[in-house]
Structure formats: C-alpha cells, structure tokens
Structure 1
Amino acid sequence: MLPRPLPSIIALALVFASPVGAGEIRQSPRAVIELFTSQGCSSCPAADAHLTELAKQPEIIALAYHVDYWDYIGWPDTFGASANSDHQRAYAQSWGSSRIFTPQMVVNGSEGVVGSRQQEVGIAIQNAELELPVELKTHGDMLKISIGPKEGLREAVVWLVTFIDRADVAIERGENEGKTIAYTQIVTGRQVLGMWEPATGAKLKLPLAEVLSEPANGAVILVQEDRDGLPGRIIGAASFLQ
C-alpha cells in the first residue's frame, strides 16, 4: 500500500518562517536514474562514480538509494536503509522478478541494468523519455510545484525524494575496507505528496526549510505511475538543490 499523504501538504497551505536561499532548479530531464548501491559492495564504487558523472548532465536527475542487505558482511552502510531495499524489491516485484542486486540502475522506473556497465546504462538513457513536464519555482521560503494536465496518461503519484549531494566516507571494514569513497545524490527520505490527475494536473506549495531539513540539501519531485501498490513508470520529474 502507498503511504498516506501528509494532511498539511494536501491542504497546500503551509507556512515556515526560516529563510532559505535560492538554489539550482533542474527541469525537463529525459531520464531519472535510481542507483541501488552499498558501501559494502566491491562492485559498487564504479557505479557510484558513474552516477556522479551522470548527475552532472542537465538532462538527467540522479538518485542513489543505499540498501542495507550488505550490512551483514561487517560494514553497516552509513546511509543504508531498509526502506531503500524495500523500494528495490518493489521494482523487482513490479517486473515479475524476485532478484535484486547491487549495483543496479533503474531508468525512469521502467528498466533495470547493471550500474557498472556504462554502455548498457548509456543505451537505456539514450532511449529514455519523460512525457510530463514538472515546473518548480522558489518564492520566498516556499517551493512551488506545478504539473499541468496531459491527456493520454494514467493517474500517478507525486513523490518528494530528498537527498545529500555529496559525502566522503572512509570505509573501515567489508569488501571496500581501507577506501575513502565519494558518494553523491544520496537519498535521505521518500514520501507521497499527493496524486496527479491527467485531466486537472496538480499544484502544490511546500516550505523549503522543511523540505530540506538536515542533512538533506536537495529534493526531487517525481511523478510515478502506481501498479497496484508497486512502482511503475516515472513520467515526470524536476529537482532542486540548495
């Protein structure tokens, strides 16, 4: 089942007093790349580095979900969360599979590829397209979200995903013992904001200081189809970095 939206967000009338400076807004991407990774996985650093490079491209929104199922080998991922592992399992279930692995990159919620295979990732991105524009604007302390109507698409869920843009981690145990690895686009939270309707669209307004509560300094708005409680295609996205 989907998490219940926050009542205060549904009301679209939120007030927060702390000032937040204007940041970088990225709109109209062609692809959302979700990397499932772990600090305890020896195959992951190459994919982590590739995600960092992909995130520099203006037509890509990148997110790194650190899973926790590698923690048993002796190094608990400092960003690992069971919710991230569950999100990856939900994708697998949505595609009729029981297999999950790291590093895995999911492109627009539709296709999963081995994250360290740059050629396969490149082909998936080349063929990717997001059909629904998502517009973000900052006004004072608020982040305004506008998603217009578009016939021919299915009703979809509007998600808020928060992230840290970079952190360097010295790994003391496990398969990457002795390495200091730079991680980027690290997901810190994921929650439902509401629903997008093809006939009416959706408009929301959020307090920036609340959206970007520490340690997060960036946020992504995703519009994603729901497949009986499982994640489907991502049809629109935009991001904000403080």
Structure 2
Amino acid sequence: MLPHLALGFITGSVMSFAFVVAPGAESMPGQSRAVVELFTSQGCSQCPPADALLTSLAERGDVVALAYHVDYWDYIGWEDTFAHKGFSDRQRAYAKSWGSSRIYTPQMVVNGSEGVVGSRREEVQDALASAQLPLAVSLTRQGDMLKVEVPADEMLDDAQIWLVRYLDRADVAIAAGENAGKNMVYTKVVTDKQILGMWEARTGAEIKLPLAGLTNSEPGNNGLAVLVQNERNGLPGPILGAATYRF
C-alpha cells in the first residue's frame, strides 16, 4: 500500500529561548544511537501502523522517538488535534535537502539523513541497524536548572542545538475522516520545537535552562529532547547527537 503523498515547500520559522552557553563541556557517555522522526496525521488511514511502530521504538533505550503531526491532510475530513504548519515545513525542508519534491505520510526520518515509509517495519529496522550518532549529549538536573552538555569534536561541523518538547502519551477519539471511529494512542507527540543556540565543534557547549520554563499547561507534556543537528543552506542536515529528559 502506497503512503499518502503531498507536494510543495514552505519555509518555516523558529522561536527563540533564553539560554546560557559556555565552552568546554566535559564529554560524557550517551546511549542514543538514533533519532526517529515520524511525520504522521490523524487523518491518514495508513498512519496507525507507523504510530504503533513509533510507540515500540520509543521503548528502546537507544532510540529518541518523536512524532510530528502534519497539517496538510486536515482538509480531507478531520483536523489533526496536534498538527502544526511548522511540522509540515520541517518535513518539506528534509525533502528539499535531499533534492526531492515529494513528501508523504507516514514517513520516518532517521538521524536527519534517511527517509523511509514509516509503516514498513523492515525498512525502518534496516535504517536503524546502521544508524549511529557521533555525539553523546548529556542532560542533568541541577536544582531548578537543567544542564545540557555536548562535548567537542573537531572532526564534525558546527551545528545547532534544538529543544523539542513532547506529550509522552495522548489518547484521541477520531470522529471523522479516514480513521473515523478509531480510538488512537499516540506517543512522543511533539508540541513545539525551539532553537537553543550553537554547538561549536572546537569547544563543545554547555547550556543551563530553568526547569520552570520548560513545562507548559498541556496535560502530559512531561518530556523533552535535545537535538544537535547540522544545517546546510537553511535546510536540516544530519543529526549528530540527542538525549531525552522526563519531568
């Protein structure tokens, strides 16, 4: 069965966030070997198997799983309760960075480098088998602050540091559209994505964030991920490192 397809590109914007950066962070061991970003929609009949697969991947200790709900299928009968134009823009930017004009759901992007059909378990597993993140990102609570440490590595190019907040779990009764009548369980549902600052390969980075500013009123919004990702000509490149934190 073919995935849902959509075409076109829109340039998105990012929000700023208060941060403190200091060079020379100490290198610390990390376990994450892959970031899996699922582009999905509640209005896509072929997405539930991929949503379920992401849930199982999230249970692995070496995978950072994130679900971005896109908005370009909202017109076909059901408006996704988590959809955001910025998430659709991110998927389009990935496609453009690979020289493609094709986007679809469900799609899983592994480490910002490879896109596969998110419902094809074997393709996803093959992509994960060779995945590796070169940087170990450390997240440590220090009182009312969250300390982010990313070691230096002069073999890599400078990159951006992103904060991604998510709902750990969400239960949705879909009343219309292609999945009408289904009661869906979604995990790692991204609610917002903000840039924290730059990671410099020569010095590394240390960022301290007030925990009070990391939560919001969303019920169950109890998790965040920090991603270190290259950017090329304004488009997302490979993800170099990642870590998650639960409140």
Give the structure-1-normalised TM-score: 0.91
Aligned ranges 1:171-186 → 2 under 5 Å: 171-186=174-189
Instruction: Provide the aligned length of Structure 1 versus Structure 2.
Output: 228
Amino acid aligned to 2:215? L
Q: Residue 122 of structure 2: SS of its match in structure 1?
A: helix
Note the aligned Cα RMSD (angstroms): 1.5
Q: How far apart, in 2, do the equivalents of 1:165 and 1:211 lie?
A: 15
What does the per-residue CA deviation read over 1:174-216, in whole Å, with 9 as the maximum and x for residues that have no partner? 0000000000000000011000001100000011121122322
Distance, in Å, in 2 between the alignment partners of 1:218 and 1:4 is: 18
Q: What SS does structure 1 have at the residue aligned with 2:105? A: coil
1:41 maps to 2:44:
yes
- 2:68 & 2:106 partners in 1: Cα distance? 10
Which residue of structure 2 lines up, in the alignment, with residue 9 of structure 1?
Answer: 19
Matched residue, 1:222: 227
Query: What's the CA shift for 1:123?
Result: 0.5
**Contact 1:47 1:115 survives alignment (8 Å):** yes
Aligned mate of 2:170, from 145, 167, 192: 167
Identical columns (%): 57
Contact 1:28 1:237 (C-alpha < 8 Å) held by counterparts: no
Question: For 1:91, which of 82, 90, 94 is the aligned residue?
Answer: 94
Offset of 1:27 from its aligned partner? 4.2
Superposition TM-score, scaled by structure 2 size: 0.89
Structure 1 residue runs of 4 or more that deviate by more than 2 Å after TM superposition: 1-6
Question: What's the CA shift for 1:28?
Answer: 2.4
- Corresponding letter in the other structure for 2:72: Y
Runs (5+) with no aligned partner, structure 2: 1-10, 23-28
Does structure 1 conserve the Cα–Cα contact (< 8 Å) formed by 2:166 and 2:222?
yes
2:55 partner SS: helix
Residues 177, 3 of structure 1: alpha-carbon distance in 2 compared, 3 angstrom cutoff? closer
Q: Which of 216, 227, 237 matches 2:242?
A: 237
Q: 1:165 to 1:27 in 2, by over 3 A?
A: farther
User: Hey, what does 1:21 align to over in structure 2?
Assistant: none
Superimposed CA distance per residue, residues 113-158 of structure 1 (whole angstroms, 9 cap, x where no aligned partner): 0000000000000100000111110011111001111111000000
Q: Which amino acid aligns with 2:226?
A: I
Unaligned runs of 5+ in 1: 13-25
Counterpart amino acid of residue 233 in structure 1? P
